[in-house]
Amino acid sequence: MQVYTGLLPDEYIGYHPIHEYNANEKKYQDLYEAYNWNYEPATDGNLEQGPPPAPVVNLWPASMPAFQKTLGGYQAALVGLARRMTRMFALALQLPETAFDSYVETPEASMRILHYPVQTASRDDQNGIGAHTDVEHFTMITQDCDGLEVLRKDGQWVKVRPVADSFVVNIADCFMRQTNDTFVSTVHRVINTSGRERYSCPFFFGFNRATLMTPIPSCVSETNPHKYPVITAGEYYQWRTKRQKERGLGARATRSTQEV
Ligand SMILES: O=C(O)CCC(=O)C(=O)O
Ligand SMILES: [Fe+2]
Protein backbone atom coordinates (compact mmCIF):
# COMPACT_ATOMS: atom_id res chain seq x y z
CA MET A 1 0.00 0.00 0.00
CA GLN A 2 1.34 3.42 -0.96
CA VAL A 3 0.75 4.96 2.48
CA TYR A 4 1.69 2.00 4.68
CA THR A 5 3.78 3.21 7.63
CA GLY A 6 6.11 0.22 7.33
CA LEU A 7 7.57 1.88 4.21
CA LEU A 8 9.42 4.35 6.50
CA PRO A 9 10.89 2.55 9.52
CA ASP A 10 12.19 5.72 11.22
CA GLU A 11 9.00 7.74 10.87
CA TYR A 12 5.64 7.21 12.54
CA ILE A 13 3.63 8.61 9.64
CA GLY A 14 1.26 6.93 7.21
CA TYR A 15 -1.34 4.24 7.70
CA HIS A 16 -1.04 1.92 10.70
CA PRO A 17 -3.24 -1.11 10.02
CA ILE A 18 -5.37 -2.70 12.67
CA HIS A 19 -3.80 -5.36 14.93
CA GLU A 20 -0.27 -4.06 14.24
CA TYR A 21 0.73 -3.28 17.85
CA ASN A 22 0.32 -4.81 21.29
CA ALA A 23 1.87 -2.29 23.68
CA ASN A 24 0.97 -4.12 26.88
CA GLU A 25 1.30 -7.71 25.61
CA LYS A 26 -2.35 -8.60 25.90
CA LYS A 27 -3.81 -11.84 24.52
CA TYR A 28 -5.08 -9.98 21.43
CA GLN A 29 -3.41 -7.18 19.44
CA ASP A 30 -4.44 -3.55 20.09
CA LEU A 31 -7.74 -2.76 18.35
CA TYR A 32 -7.15 0.44 16.36
CA GLU A 33 -6.14 1.65 12.95
CA ALA A 34 -4.62 5.08 12.41
CA TYR A 35 -3.33 7.53 9.86
CA ASN A 36 -0.46 9.83 11.00
CA TRP A 37 1.03 12.87 9.33
CA ASN A 38 3.75 15.37 10.10
CA TYR A 39 3.47 19.14 10.34
CA GLU A 40 4.36 20.92 7.12
CA PRO A 41 5.62 24.48 7.78
CA ALA A 42 4.36 25.55 4.34
CA THR A 43 0.76 25.23 5.64
CA ASP A 44 1.48 27.27 8.78
CA GLY A 45 -0.03 30.71 8.36
CA ASN A 46 1.73 31.94 11.52
CA LEU A 47 5.20 30.76 10.62
CA GLU A 48 7.72 33.22 11.98
CA GLN A 49 11.46 33.43 11.54
CA GLY A 50 13.15 30.47 13.09
CA PRO A 51 15.49 27.60 12.52
CA PRO A 52 14.85 25.85 9.21
CA PRO A 53 12.50 22.93 9.75
CA ALA A 54 13.75 19.40 9.37
CA PRO A 55 12.85 18.00 5.94
CA VAL A 56 9.18 17.08 6.05
CA VAL A 57 8.20 13.55 5.15
CA ASN A 58 4.59 12.53 4.71
CA LEU A 59 2.70 9.71 3.05
CA TRP A 60 -0.42 11.42 1.73
CA PRO A 61 -2.73 9.30 -0.43
CA ALA A 62 -2.17 10.76 -3.90
CA SER A 63 -5.73 10.13 -5.05
CA MET A 64 -7.36 12.14 -2.21
CA PRO A 65 -6.18 15.80 -2.35
CA ALA A 66 -9.10 17.01 -0.21
CA PHE A 67 -8.01 14.65 2.58
CA GLN A 68 -4.61 16.37 2.79
CA LYS A 69 -6.09 19.87 2.48
CA THR A 70 -8.71 19.35 5.21
CA LEU A 71 -6.41 17.66 7.70
CA GLY A 72 -3.54 20.09 7.01
CA GLY A 73 -5.87 23.07 7.53
CA TYR A 74 -7.12 21.76 10.86
CA GLN A 75 -3.54 21.08 11.93
CA ALA A 76 -2.45 24.65 11.08
CA ALA A 77 -5.23 26.01 13.33
CA LEU A 78 -4.13 23.72 16.15
CA VAL A 79 -0.50 24.84 15.80
CA GLY A 80 -1.69 28.40 16.51
CA LEU A 81 -3.66 27.28 19.58
CA ALA A 82 -0.75 25.19 20.85
CA ARG A 83 1.62 28.15 20.57
CA ARG A 84 -0.76 30.11 22.82
CA MET A 85 -0.95 27.25 25.27
CA THR A 86 2.84 27.11 25.35
CA ARG A 87 2.76 30.64 26.78
CA MET A 88 0.40 29.48 29.53
CA PHE A 89 2.78 26.67 30.39
CA ALA A 90 5.67 29.18 30.54
CA LEU A 91 3.74 31.29 33.05
CA ALA A 92 2.95 28.18 35.11
CA LEU A 93 6.69 27.51 35.29
CA GLN A 94 7.36 31.04 36.59
CA LEU A 95 8.91 32.14 33.30
CA PRO A 96 8.04 35.17 31.17
CA GLU A 97 5.15 34.17 28.92
CA THR A 98 7.29 34.48 25.79
CA ALA A 99 10.10 32.28 27.18
CA PHE A 100 9.30 29.35 24.88
CA ASP A 101 8.29 31.35 21.79
CA SER A 102 11.55 30.75 19.95
CA TYR A 103 11.22 26.98 20.60
CA VAL A 104 7.91 26.67 18.78
CA GLU A 105 8.61 28.50 15.53
CA THR A 106 8.94 25.30 13.53
CA PRO A 107 7.53 22.92 16.09
CA GLU A 108 7.00 19.22 16.17
CA ALA A 109 3.27 19.08 15.53
CA SER A 110 2.26 15.74 14.10
CA MET A 111 -1.27 14.40 14.22
CA ARG A 112 -3.22 11.23 13.79
CA ILE A 113 -6.78 10.16 13.23
CA LEU A 114 -7.77 6.90 14.88
CA HIS A 115 -10.60 4.45 14.45
CA TYR A 116 -11.41 1.93 17.17
CA PRO A 117 -13.92 -0.79 16.24
CA VAL A 118 -16.23 -2.07 18.94
CA GLN A 119 -14.25 -4.33 21.27
CA THR A 120 -15.85 -7.64 22.14
CA ALA A 121 -12.88 -9.22 23.95
CA SER A 122 -12.65 -8.57 27.69
CA ARG A 123 -10.75 -5.59 29.12
CA ASP A 124 -8.14 -8.02 30.46
CA ASP A 125 -7.51 -9.57 27.04
CA GLN A 126 -7.29 -6.52 24.78
CA ASN A 127 -6.73 -2.78 24.61
CA GLY A 128 -7.92 -0.36 21.97
CA ILE A 129 -4.49 1.26 22.39
CA GLY A 130 -2.23 -0.01 25.16
CA ALA A 131 -1.13 2.09 28.14
CA HIS A 132 1.62 4.54 27.18
CA THR A 133 2.84 8.09 27.49
CA ASP A 134 3.21 10.42 24.51
CA VAL A 135 6.60 11.62 23.32
CA GLU A 136 6.49 15.38 22.70
CA HIS A 137 5.70 18.25 25.11
CA PHE A 138 1.91 18.01 25.28
CA THR A 139 -0.96 16.42 23.38
CA MET A 140 -4.44 17.74 22.62
CA ILE A 141 -7.09 15.11 21.87
CA THR A 142 -10.57 15.34 20.41
CA GLN A 143 -12.75 12.27 20.84
CA ASP A 144 -16.30 11.38 19.93
CA CYS A 145 -17.17 8.81 22.58
CA ASP A 146 -16.02 7.04 25.74
CA GLY A 147 -12.94 4.84 25.77
CA LEU A 148 -10.01 7.02 26.86
CA GLU A 149 -8.69 6.35 30.37
CA VAL A 150 -5.88 7.99 32.35
CA LEU A 151 -3.89 6.53 35.23
CA ARG A 152 -3.99 8.46 38.47
CA LYS A 153 -1.01 8.64 40.83
CA ASP A 154 -2.80 6.23 43.20
CA GLY A 155 -2.92 3.56 40.46
CA GLN A 156 -6.64 3.98 39.61
CA TRP A 157 -7.69 4.22 35.96
CA VAL A 158 -10.15 7.06 35.38
CA LYS A 159 -12.46 7.39 32.37
CA VAL A 160 -12.06 10.63 30.42
CA ARG A 161 -15.52 11.30 29.06
CA PRO A 162 -15.86 13.46 25.94
CA VAL A 163 -16.98 17.02 26.61
CA ALA A 164 -18.44 18.89 23.63
CA ASP A 165 -16.20 21.57 22.08
CA SER A 166 -13.20 20.75 24.25
CA PHE A 167 -9.79 19.10 24.08
CA VAL A 168 -8.20 16.67 26.49
CA VAL A 169 -4.66 17.94 27.19
CA ASN A 170 -2.01 15.48 28.31
CA ILE A 171 1.54 16.30 29.38
CA ALA A 172 4.06 14.26 27.39
CA ASP A 173 7.57 13.01 28.01
CA CYS A 174 9.67 15.89 26.65
CA PHE A 175 7.92 18.31 29.02
CA MET A 176 8.38 15.92 31.91
CA ARG A 177 12.10 15.69 31.14
CA GLN A 178 12.57 19.43 30.76
CA THR A 179 10.60 20.23 33.90
CA ASN A 180 12.48 17.58 35.86
CA ASP A 181 9.17 15.83 36.70
CA THR A 182 7.40 19.03 37.84
CA PHE A 183 4.97 18.24 35.01
CA VAL A 184 4.28 14.51 34.86
CA SER A 185 3.41 12.68 31.63
CA THR A 186 -0.12 11.28 31.60
CA VAL A 187 -0.22 7.49 31.31
CA HIS A 188 -3.25 6.74 29.15
CA ARG A 189 -4.94 3.99 27.16
CA VAL A 190 -8.13 3.37 25.23
CA ILE A 191 -10.52 0.46 25.69
CA ASN A 192 -13.56 0.80 23.47
CA THR A 193 -16.33 -1.11 25.17
CA SER A 194 -18.76 1.73 24.43
CA GLY A 195 -20.71 -0.45 22.02
CA ARG A 196 -20.06 1.92 19.08
CA GLU A 197 -17.11 2.66 16.83
CA ARG A 198 -14.86 5.33 18.31
CA TYR A 199 -12.96 8.06 16.45
CA SER A 200 -10.33 10.37 17.93
CA CYS A 201 -7.81 12.91 16.73
CA PRO A 202 -4.71 13.56 18.87
CA PHE A 203 -2.37 16.45 18.08
CA PHE A 204 1.17 16.00 19.41
CA PHE A 205 3.01 19.28 20.06
CA GLY A 206 6.68 19.68 20.90
CA PHE A 207 9.56 22.13 20.63
CA ASN A 208 11.60 22.60 17.41
CA ARG A 209 13.74 19.56 16.75
CA ALA A 210 16.92 21.63 17.19
CA THR A 211 15.96 22.73 20.74
CA LEU A 212 18.36 21.51 23.39
CA MET A 213 16.12 20.31 26.22
CA THR A 214 17.90 22.14 29.03
CA PRO A 215 16.12 22.04 32.38
CA ILE A 216 13.67 24.81 33.28
CA PRO A 217 15.38 26.90 36.01
CA SER A 218 12.39 26.84 38.40
CA CYS A 219 12.42 23.02 38.29
CA VAL A 220 15.96 22.34 39.49
CA SER A 221 17.83 23.17 42.66
CA GLU A 222 20.78 21.91 44.62
CA THR A 223 18.50 19.50 46.45
CA ASN A 224 16.57 18.60 43.27
CA PRO A 225 19.19 18.18 40.53
CA HIS A 226 18.21 17.58 36.92
CA LYS A 227 17.60 13.85 36.35
CA TYR A 228 17.74 13.62 32.56
CA PRO A 229 20.53 13.82 29.99
CA VAL A 230 20.34 17.03 27.96
CA ILE A 231 19.71 16.14 24.31
CA THR A 232 17.83 17.88 21.51
CA ALA A 233 14.09 17.38 21.14
CA GLY A 234 14.75 15.89 17.68
CA GLU A 235 17.16 13.29 19.04
CA TYR A 236 14.57 12.24 21.58
CA TYR A 237 11.71 12.07 19.03
CA GLN A 238 13.77 9.95 16.68
CA TRP A 239 14.91 7.55 19.37
CA ARG A 240 11.34 7.05 20.61
CA THR A 241 9.86 6.66 17.13
CA LYS A 242 12.37 4.01 16.16
CA ARG A 243 11.80 2.13 19.40
CA GLN A 244 8.01 2.23 19.01
CA LYS A 245 8.22 0.98 15.44
CA GLU A 246 10.64 -1.79 16.34
CA ARG A 247 8.28 -3.01 19.03
CA GLY A 248 5.34 -2.93 16.67
CA LEU A 249 5.54 -3.56 12.97
CA GLY A 250 7.02 -6.89 12.08
CA ALA A 251 7.89 -7.73 15.66
CA ARG A 252 4.76 -9.51 16.82
CA ALA A 253 6.48 -12.72 17.82
CA THR A 254 9.38 -11.14 19.63
CA ARG A 255 7.98 -8.13 21.45
CA SER A 256 8.86 -8.45 25.10
CA THR A 257 8.89 -4.95 26.50
CA GLN A 258 5.90 -3.02 27.72
CA GLU A 259 5.38 0.61 26.88
CA VAL A 260 4.31 1.18 30.48
O1 LIG B 1 -7.65 7.76 20.94
C2 LIG B 1 -7.32 8.41 21.93
O3 LIG B 1 -8.14 9.05 22.60
C4 LIG B 1 -5.88 8.42 22.39
C5 LIG B 1 -4.90 7.96 21.36
C6 LIG B 1 -3.49 8.00 21.87
O7 LIG B 1 -3.24 7.97 23.03
C8 LIG B 1 -2.36 8.10 20.92
O9 LIG B 1 -2.57 7.95 19.72
O10 LIG B 1 -1.22 8.34 21.37
FE1 LIG C 1 -1.24 8.67 23.40
Ligand 2 centroid to Cα of residue 132, in Å, is 6
Residues of the chain with pLDDT > 70, as a percent, come to 90
Pocket test for ligand 1, best of 5, 24, 36, 114 (most atoms within 8 A of CB): 114
What DSSP string describes the chain? -TTBGGG-TT---EEE-TT---TT--SS----EEEEE---GGG-TT--S-SPPPPP-----TT-HHHHHHHHHHHHHHHHHHHHHHHHHHHHTTS-TTTTGGGSSS-EEEEEEEEEPPP-S-TTT--SEEEE--SSSEEEEEESSS-EEEE-TTS-EEE----TT--EEEE-HHHHHHTTTSS-PPPEEE---SSS-EEEEEEEEE--TT-B-PPPGGG--SSS---S---BHHHHHHHHHHHHHHHSTT-TTT------
pLDDT digits (tens, 9 = 90+) for 37-82: 999 887 766 555 555 556 688 999 999 999 999 999 999 999 999 9
**What is the value of ipTM here, to two decimals?**
0.99
Q: Which residues lie with the beta carbon below 6 Å from any ligand 1 atom?
A: 112, 114, 129, 134, 141, 143, 148, 188, 190, 200, 202
Decide if 218 contacts 94 (C-beta within 8 A). yes
Question: How distant is the alpha carbon of residue 249 from its chain centre?
Answer: 18
Average pLDDT value for the chain:
90
Which one of the ligands is nearest to 34 CA? 1
pLDDT digits (tens, 9 = 90+) for 166-210: 999 999 999 999 999 999 999 999 999 999 999 999 999 999 999
Ligand 1 centroid to Cα of residue 225, in Å, is 32
Ligand 2 centroid to Cα of residue 223, in Å, is 32
Question: How distant is the alpha carbon of residue 163 from its chain centre?
Answer: 20
**CA–CA separation, 186 vs 170, rounded Å?**
6
Which is the closest atom of ligand 1 to the Cα of 32? 1
Least confident piece of the model among 132-136, 211-215, 239-243: 239-243
Q: Please provide the size of the chain in residues.
A: 260
Residue ranges with CB less than 5 Å from ion ligand 2: 134
Which is the closest atom of ligand 1 to the Cα of 147? 3
Which one of the ligands is nearest to 115 CA? 1
**CA–CA separation, 64 vs 89, rounded Å?**
37
